[in-house]
Structure 1
Amino acid sequence: MSARVVSLNVGLPRPLAHGRGEVRSGIFKSPVRGALRFGEAGLEGDGQADTEHHGGADKAVCVYATEHLPYWQRRLGRSLEPGAFGENLSTEGLAETRVRIGDVYRVGTALAQVSQPRIPCFKLGARHGEGKLALWVKETGLTGFYLRCVEPGEVRAGDEILPVESAEHGFTVAEANRVMHGDGRDVAGMERLLATPALSAEWKRMLEVRLRKATAGQEDKLTGRSAQSR
């Protein structure tokens, strides 16, 4: 199956209405004509307000499939254009069930690697006036994902996205979402995902916390059963 960049989107932080006040956010992305340089820090002309949770080498570029837009249009009751989810690359052919953590793609003249699923935050809901949107995105698994830059280059709308290296035995983005956002009992899945070399440092930290809690919970249950049997 072929894949391509439908729209290339960038934007700088600006005020976003939230509750009775406002926050600054880089979630507003606009389509760009022509090529942009894709480097370790992301696309030229793009920016984030909250650099603790957004951006950085592991999250240089956010990708979202345009195939999801009809679903969200029905659920939100409004028209949505590429870039509506704050993504830099609006794509065709890169669904979460297909893409694996660690896959490497040639995008334009740049080389990029899949690093982690996206975790939507409250700002997505604030942008679209639906406070539950971030939760819905997480529940559906239609999250999109991030790329890190392996080799800088130029990207433009219409570019093919060509597979260069496949993490055949790795986790798809969809599977990674299931393990991270599940009920916390899939210890084996968390251990396998944590051992994925290409997984971002942020996700590894979160998984380590979840794994410790899950392991402690299992030990508590075993200890409880042992005490009852005595």
Structure 2
Amino acid sequence: MTAETITQADDLPRLVGTLTDVRAGKVEPFVRGVSAINKIAIDGSMTVNLLGLSEDEQAEHKFHGGHLKALHQMPITTYDAINQEFNLNAPIGSLGENLTVMTSGEPMCEDNVCIGDIYQFGEGDDSVQARLIQPRRPCYKINDKLGNAGVSYFVAREGIAGWYYQVVRTGVLHADMPVYLIDRPYPFANLTALWSLINQKSGIEAQTADKWLGIDCLEISWKKKIHDKRKAH
């Protein structure tokens, strides 16, 4: 899987990798208050409904969970960046993600996944289909988990916090499932480009903004950010 091939909308469905870990967590006491950021890799399988993994919990439903944040995937490359920047040794799976996908080539990351992508996890009638609809906004609990107050800002600045899926077909998840990209309606809308627009200090050209505002499945708060930065004609 290369950056060149994954940005194309043709030749679908396409095998992109293997789901190596599925993680779920319970609300528990944390550094400040409570959290469910400690997601533990499950043994066996777990059902997925429209709100995500059946046994996964979220501590603050205003910011986490719900059908627009049903499943979270974090790129493995994020850990490399954090560990190098802050001289840490944070292991993959330590920042609250539900899904880890490994590939034989370029890892899945913000450079090569797009808003609107639909991924299928597994094969057969109980396979799960999920649509990518928004990046994750990192919060202070990432800082608390890693013991460094700068991580959340760094992750947001670099746009490497992973992404949320909306479940479009319920089913069952377990480790070692194949992962397929089955639809890519907006091949221009990779997450690196979205974060770049959101983080830039200047306004967004109207033509560019309108392309993003035309994405039917982009979560509304991200659309509002683009709308508010849109330059007048």
> Given the two structures, how large is their TM-score scaled by the length of structure 2?
0.83
**Partner SS state of residue 191, structure 1:** helix
**Displacement of 1:184 after TM fit?**
4.2
CA contact (8 A) 1:96 1:174 kept: yes
Q: Answer yes or no: is 1:37 the counterpart of 2:47.
A: yes
One-letter amino acid of the structure 1 residue matched with residue 74 of structure 2: Y
Aligned twin of 2:86: 76
Deviations 1:165-213 (A, max 9, x none): 11244410111111122214114333322221111133234444x33xx
What's the % identity of the aligned pairs?
A: 23
The total of aligned residue pairs comes to 210
Pick from 203, 220, 228 the counterpart of residue 222 of structure 2. 203
**Displacement of 1:99 after TM fit?**
0.4
Higher share in helix: 1
**Displacement of 1:16 after TM fit?**
1.8
One-letter amino acid of the structure 2 residue matched with residue 113 of structure 1: R
Aligned twin of 1:226: none
Aligned twin of 2:110: 96
Q: Which has the higher contact order (CA 8 A, sep 6+)?
A: 2
**Displacement of 1:65 after TM fit?**
1.2
Distance 1:96 1:184, change over 3 A: same
Partners in 1 of 2:60 and 2:226 — Cα distance?
Answer: 22
**Partner SS state of residue 135, structure 1:** helix
Superposition pairs of residues 101-180 of structure 1, within 5 angstroms: 101-108=115-122, 109-180=127-198
Distance 1:58 1:84, change over 3 A: same
Deviations 1:44-89 (A, max 9, x none): 2111111111111111001011133223222333322222121111
> Given the two structures, how large is their TM-score scaled by the length of structure 1?
0.84
Greater radius of gyration (CA):
1
Partners in 1 of 2:90 and 2:20 — Cα distance?
Answer: 14
Partners in 2 of 1:14 and 1:187 — Cα distance?
Answer: 45
Aligned-residue RMSD, C-alpha: 1.9
Deviates more, 1:187-196 or 1:6-15: 187-196
Aligned twin of 1:64: 74
Deviations 1:107-127 (A, max 9, x none): 121011101111101111111
Partners in 2 of 1:24 and 1:205 — Cα distance?
Answer: 30
Partners in 2 of 1:67 and 1:16 — Cα distance?
Answer: 26
Partners in 2 of 1:128 and 1:25 — Cα distance?
Answer: 14
CA contact (8 A) 2:116 2:186 kept: no
Partners in 2 of 1:187 and 1:168 — Cα distance?
Answer: 19
Distance 1:190 1:134, change over 3 A: farther
Aligned twin of 2:20: 6
One-letter amino acid of the structure 1 residue matched with residue 23 of structure 2: N
Deviates more, 1:69-78 or 1:48-57: 69-78
Partners in 1 of 2:66 and 2:225 — Cα distance?
Answer: 17
**Ranges in structure 1 where 5+ consecutive residues have no aligned partner:** 220-230
